[in-house]
Each structure stands twice: as C-alpha cells, then as structure tokens.
Amino acid sequence: QYSGVLVSFYLLTMSLRITFFPKLQLKPVLTVSDKILDLPLEKQDLFRVSELFTVKDLFDARVHLGHKKGCRHRLMEPYLYDSSLDYDIIDLDKTAEHLRRALNVTAQTAYGGGIILFISRRRQFCHLVENTAEECGEYAHTRYWQGGLFTNAHVQYGPGVRLPDLVVFLSTLNNVFQQHVAVRDAGKMNIPTVGVVDSNCNPSLLTYPVPGNDDSPVAVELYCRLFKTTINRAKDKRKQMDNKHDILLKSIIK
Amino acid sequence: MLMNDSSAAVSPQICGTPALRRKNLGAAGPEKFTPEFIQKQVEEFEIGKRHLANMMGEDPENFTQEDIDRSIAYLFPSGLFEKRARPLMKVRLSADLCFPPCEAVQWGPDGRPFHFLFYTGKQYYYSLMHDLYGRVLKVEKHQDQLRAKGLFPTEPKQIALGTSRWLTKEELEARLVEPISSQDYEYFIQLMERLLAMPCCSLEQQFVMSHRQQLEAQSMHQVVPPLQKDDAGVDFSTAEGRRKTSRGSVVVRDCGAGRLTVNGQDYLHYFPVLQDREQLMFPLQFCGLLGRFDLDCSVSGGGRSSQAGALRLAISRALLSFLPQSEGEAMRQAGLLTPDPRVRERKKPGQEGARRKFTWKKR
C-alpha cells in the first residue's frame, strides 16, 4: 500500500542528496544523516498520521459533498459513492485512504527538510491558507499565477533558486473553473503534487489526489489543520533525531 | 538542476530605477549585490582612499570623506549641473544609491527562502495585502463582539485624517523596495478605503496613518526676516528680492516718515514711470501702512520693470516681520510673496526667436 510512497520518497531523498552532496558517489556510503533520513521508510506510519482524523470527522466537515451531476468530471467517477438528487457524494473510505497517504508524503517531505508550497486560488480561503503556511514555516501562493514561475524560475527569481519539493493544492481550479496552471507546471518540473480534487476537477495529473469537497469553509479549515499538524509533527521529530544524534556524537568524542 | 552561484560581472550597477530592477535576471546582466560583493567593494574603496591620500600628499590615516570629496572635485573638475551625475567616490549602503537592498539574495545556505510568500514573485506587496486583510478581519471580529454585547457605537469614532493623502504609487514602491503595477496599487487603495469605511476602524489608526502623507500648508514654509533694532532705537528689517535678472534688497525702518530712497536717489527720480512706483507702493497700500515706514532700497541688473518687481518682493518680505501671521497669510494669498518664475526664454536654432518661426514660403 505504501509502495508508491516508498518509491517517490526514495527519489525525493536521492534528489535532496544530489543538491546537498555535489560529488556523485558511486558506492553509497551510509552516514548517520542517511540513517536519520531513512527512518520513516523503515517504520510504518512513524508520524502517526492515521490518528489525526476519522471518517466521522470527514463527514462532519462535509468533505463528502460534491457538485451536481452536470459538473462531474469523467475521471472522478471511481471516487464517487453515489449521487442523491443529482448531487454527487464522494466515497469517504477512499478519501480517508488517499488523505492518509498524502499526509504521510507531506510528513516525510517536511522531515527531510523539503520545501512545501500551498496553492489555492479561492479568494475566500486565501488568508487562511497563507496563515497556515506561515504557522508551519512553509510557503504559500494564493495570488495571480505569473506564467513561468516554475518553468522559467531562474529568470523570474534569480539564478540558483531552489524550487518546492512538494506542492499542495487546497483547490486545483482557478477563478475561471479551469485547472490551475501549476498542476501542469509541477508535472513538467518533476515536483510531486498533493491536491484536494472535487467532483468537477481532473485528478489525472496529480501524484496524490485526495477526493473531497473544496468549497465549504469547514472542509478547507479541516485540511489546513491536518496539514499544519503533520508538518509540525514531522519537523519536531526531525529536530528530536538531530538532537539525539548530536548528543551521541558528543558522548563518543568524550 | 544544480546551479552554481554566478560569479560577479565586471561593472557594478550604480543607479537603480524600478524599470531597471524588473526581473530579467536570467540574462548575463546586473550581478547580485551579495554581502560578500559589498564587502569586497568596501575593501577596494579603502585601498583606493589610501592611494588618493598619497596622490594628494596627505596623511592616509586621517583622510576623511570631506577630504575625498575635495580631492575628487580637484582631480576631476566637472561643469555638470546635476550634482548626482558628477564623479563620486563614496560607499553608501542605504537604499537610495549604490547597493539597493532588493538585490540581496532571498534564500539561506540550504536554499530555503526567508519570506513565506517568496514564490509569489512580489513578496513584499502581497505580505502588505495579507497584513492589511488580517487587520480588516480583526476589526470585523471586534465589531461582532461589540454587537453581541450590545455595545455597538451609534456615533462611530472616525480616524482624524486631517490634511493627509494616500502614499503615491512611487512612494509605495520605494517603501516596498519592489516594482508594483497600477492595478496592484488600486487594489491596495481600495482595501484601505474599505478599512476606513468600517465603524470601528479607529483600532487601526496607527497603521492607516503610517500609509498616509501629511500635506504641509504652504504658509509654514515662509521664512520671516528677523526684526532688528538700530542704535537710535528704531525697529528695522532687511529683505531681498529677485525678478528676471534684477537683484534688489531693502531696509524697512519704522520711522513714520514715508520716505523712499533707491540707490541713493529719490524714488521719483529713479522710477519716472507711474507703473513702477505703483508696484513699489502696492505691498504698503495692501496692508494699509502707507505713511508709516522709511524704505532704503538698492537694486541692480535687469530693466525698469523687473527692478520694480524685485523691490516689490523685497518690501513684502521685509514687511512680514512687522505684521501678525494672519496678515502675512493674506499677503501670501494675494500673491505678494510669490517670486515670479518667468525668465527670458532662449532663442532656438532654426527659428527667428524663442517661439517665432521663420516666414514659411510655399515655393
């Protein structure tokens, strides 16, 4: 079940290692920092992500409410449970499984010191998303998306810029109900994406789609809270491991 | 994916305007003003300062900035009017010249950017908007709490704006140290106006006033010449005035005679034309003090009319020290204290005069 997570995270750590250790090592020398980075891969659910929410919490936050039958995207049909009076209902068991996977990926990226970018083009939630990003020490983009922010990064920002290692979409659509440009651009730049997809969105380009409601304030507040908690937990765990490693080194030197 | 830091290009960018600072940093153009680069420039400046001191034959240890300015003005004399275009040898680390702070690197050694809105492209503008919207929400929440308790004010206390105006787009750009478009500026003003329209906006008074510019009243700039007393105990004051190429100065004495002397001669002899004498008398007539003062004037340059105008300005300025401020304000509103900026326009080549063109001949 976590094989997809393992492969993606291994690729992620490999890319991180390339940026930190420019000399390509033919035989991987296992240093202590490598052991710290591999710890989430060895233990299942190291960050106890499955304890953060239950299916009942998702139901209370109205995550299961989708749009009307006319707005339905063909590729979202596997994730829908039923439709009542033409309103689509999203299958919360599938949502829970996808959400757990997505939170695991976020946690492991944050644990490895990766950059996480939150994107949402909904004006209602712009302030909330920016606050969430600020509180967990990550980055947000809830404004007008300038053309080449990912694909033309070295011209837009300056040479030597580091792009995000994970992009989290709280809503994959922009103000004109078309797919956000960042979904395609992140795919072009090999950046893994996590996204909340409603019944009118296209889940195909996202790495870890999470079928769920992106219109209700309750639902979006729930997602923000969950992502913030996971990222903070992951960062605390990493700090803990680094401190343990430092104490161990000091005791060895003595 | 791995990018090395670009090595510094040859010439540093001395002047920076928002147009130049616009993002096209991928081209091999202006380099980054990193702290290391600034440090290197400071060291080179110190070495250059010592060379300059040796050249001028002075002590390299005690060579101050004024000595540097003097030496550069001596070695590279420049007749340019624009002071900022003349040769300069100075290291100023502030935002106005040399190393504008927006060129500093925006991320740490691990590559993580410092600002949480870095990936938007316009981090400072959007963080200002985020902050402003947060304050709007705070005021709304406060209003809801008051309404719940039943203490909602019927006569809301408005923020005293006084004689202030919103910051202009250029001033906002200078404050945010990054270029913004006119659309962005309009959104900013709209959101500020929305904050001001709320009843309980006095919570955010300090924030609002920090984005407004005070308009000083024109009369506050007026410099009043000091009232002096001579040996005989008579009050007098001196002032100068200019018009076209004439320069005049006048000493107004509180004698009570009404005598006027210009360049040693009586004013009737110096200004035979009635119009010029009227110009001299106008400030006194306006304040109703015709017979009170003795005027001792000296004037040079220009023609009769411009000399009269110069003396009129000088008399008005000298009278300010004898009058209360309200009368002075009345004089300013009448236009007596405004120097006339009109000067003779130069003749252009290809034309007969300043504006007159040569006669057009069809064939």
Asked if A115 and B112 come within 8 Å (Cβ–Cβ), the reply is: yes
Contacts of B110 in chain A (CB under 8 A): 113
Which residue in the set B32, B107, B119 is minimally distant from A149, CB to CB? B119
pLDDT at B77: 93
Distance from CA of B343 to the nearest CA of A (A): 50
Is the model's pLDDT at B96 over the cut of 50?
no
* pTM attached to this predicted model: 0.68
Interface A-B, measured as beta-carbon pairs within 8 A, has a size of 78
pLDDT at B217: 64
Chain A residue with Cα closest to B7: A159
Which one of B3, B31, B119 would you mutate to disrupt binding with A, by most A Cβ within 10 Å of its Cβ?
Answer: B119
pLDDT at A5: 55
% of chain B with per-residue pLDDT over 90: 56
Q: Does A22 touch chain B (CB under 8 A)?
A: yes
Cα(B52)–Cα(B64) distance, rounded to whole angstroms?
11
Cβ atoms within 10 Å, residue B249: 17
Q: Convert the pLDDT of each residue in A166-201 to its tens digit.
A: 999 999 999 999 999 999 999 999 999 999 999 999
Copy the structure tokens of residue B308. Answer: 């009269």
Distance from CA of A154 to the nearest CA of B (A): 6
Q: Does B183 touch chain A (CB under 8 A)?
A: no
Report which of residues A7 and B62 the model is more confident about.
B62
ipTM attached to this prediction? 0.84
Q: Which of B27, B62, B85 is the last residue of a domain?
A: B85
pLDDT at A135: 95
Assess if residue B348 is contained within a domain.
Answer: no
Task: State whether residue B240 is helix, strand or coil.
Answer: strand
Assess if residue B288 is contained within a domain.
Answer: yes
pLDDT at A66: 94
Which neighbouring-strand residues pair with B240? B249
* Beta carbons of A71 and A200 less than 8 angstroms apart: yes
pLDDT at B133: 96
Residues B137 and B178 in one domain: yes
Asked if B117 and A157 come within 8 Å (Cβ–Cβ), the reply is: no
Is the model's pLDDT at B7 over the cut of 50?
no
- The band of B95, judged by pLDDT with boundaries at 50, 70 and 90, is very low
Top-tier CATH class for A53-253: alpha beta
Distance from CA of A101 to the nearest CA of B (A): 25
Cα(A74)–Cα(A96) distance, rounded to whole angstroms?
21
Which one of A139, A149, A180 would you mutate to disrupt binding with B, by most B Cβ within 10 Å of its Cβ?
Answer: A139
Copy the structure tokens of residue A217. Answer: 């304030």
Residue type for B309, please?
A: G
Contacts of B1 in chain A (CB under 8 A): 15, 18-19
Is the model's pLDDT at B10 over the cut of 80?
no
Q: Does B108 touch chain A (CB under 8 A)?
A: no
Copy the structure tokens of residue B362. Answer: 């069809």
Assess if residue B49 is contained within a domain.
Answer: yes
pLDDT at B3: 40
Assess if residue B96 is contained within a domain.
Answer: no
Q: Which of the residue ranges A1-5, B145-149, B224-228, B321-325 would you say has the lowest mean pLDDT?
A: A1-5
Assess if residue B16 is contained within a domain.
Answer: no
Q: Does A123 touch chain B (CB under 8 A)?
A: no
Asked if A133 and B116 come within 8 Å (Cβ–Cβ), the reply is: yes
Strands A80-84 and A87-90: antiparallel
Cβ atoms within 10 Å, residue A40: 23
Chain B residue with Cα closest to A136: B116
> Containing H/E element for A166?
strand A166-169
Q: Convert the pLDDT of each residue in B326-355 to its tens digit.
A: 899 899 999 999 999 999 999 999 999 999
Asked if B5 and A160 come within 8 Å (Cβ–Cβ), the reply is: yes
Q: Convert the pLDDT of each residue in B265-301 to its tens digit.
A: 999 999 999 999 999 999 999 999 888 899 999 999 9
Domain that holds residue B62: 38-85
Counting the structural domains of chain B, the total is 3
Asked if A149 and B121 come within 8 Å (Cβ–Cβ), the reply is: yes
Q: Does B3 touch chain A (CB under 8 A)?
A: yes
Residues B195 and B234 in one domain: no
Is the model's pLDDT at A22 over the cut of 50?
no
Contacts of B118 in chain A (CB under 8 A): 139, 157
Per domain, the residue ranges of chain A are 53-253
Is the model's pLDDT at A1 over the cut of 90?
no
Is the model's pLDDT at A13 over the cut of 80?
no
Task: State whether residue B13 is helix, strand or coil.
Answer: coil
% of chain A with per-residue pLDDT over 70: 87
Residue type for B193, please?
A: E
Q: Does B28 touch chain A (CB under 8 A)?
A: no
Q: Does B324 touch chain A (CB under 8 A)?
A: no
Residues B239 and B277 in one domain: yes
- The band of B232, judged by pLDDT with boundaries at 50, 70 and 90, is confident
Is the model's pLDDT at B86 over the cut of 60?
yes
Is the model's pLDDT at B323 over the cut of 80?
yes
Residues B265 and B206 in one domain: no
Q: Convert the pLDDT of each residue in A71-115 to its tens digit.
A: 999 999 999 999 999 999 999 999 999 999 999 999 999 999 999
CATH number of the structural domain spanning residue B296: 3.30.230.10
Mean pLDDT over the full length of chain A: 88
Is the model's pLDDT at A235 over the cut of 80?
yes
Distance from CA of B120 to the nearest CA of A (A): 6
pLDDT at A119: 97
Strands A116-119 and A139-141: parallel
Assess if residue B19 is contained within a domain.
Answer: no
Asked if B113 and A139 come within 8 Å (Cβ–Cβ), the reply is: yes
Asked if B6 and A15 come within 8 Å (Cβ–Cβ), the reply is: no
Cα(B206)–Cα(B269) distance, rounded to whole angstroms?
63
Asked if B117 and A130 come within 8 Å (Cβ–Cβ), the reply is: yes
Cα(B64)–Cα(A250) distance, rounded to whole angstroms?
51
* Beta carbons of A237 and A108 less than 8 angstroms apart: no
Q: Convert the pLDDT of each residue in B121-174 to its tens digit.
A: 899 999 999 999 999 999 999 999 999 999 887 777 788 787 888 999 999 999
Q: Does B181 touch chain A (CB under 8 A)?
A: no
Copy the structure tokens of residue A103. Answer: 């939170």
Q: Does A80 touch chain B (CB under 8 A)?
A: no
Question: In 3D, which of B78, B73, B105 has the Cα closest to residue B89?
Answer: B73
Asked if A139 and B105 come within 8 Å (Cβ–Cβ), the reply is: no
Q: Which of the residue ranges A126-130, B24-28, B151-155, B190-194 would you say has the lowest mean pLDDT?
A: B24-28
End-to-end CA separation in angstroms for chain A? 44
pLDDT at B18: 58
Sheet with B246-253, strands from edge to edge, namely B228-229, B235-243, B246-253, B294-300, B260-262, B265-266
Assess if residue B238 is contained within a domain.
Answer: yes
Copy the structure tokens of residue B270. Answer: 């110096």
Asked if A127 and B137 come within 8 Å (Cβ–Cβ), the reply is: yes
Chain A residue with Cα closest to B110: A20
Q: Which B positions 253-312 lie with beta carbon below 8 A of chain A?
A: none
DSSP assignment string, B250-292: EEEE--SS--EEETTEEHHHH--SHHHHHHHHHHHHHHT-TTT
Asked if B1 and A19 come within 8 Å (Cβ–Cβ), the reply is: yes
Mean pLDDT over the full length of chain B: 85
Which residue in the set B1, B105, B120 is minimally distant from A141, CB to CB? B120
* Beta carbons of B64 and B135 less than 8 angstroms apart: no
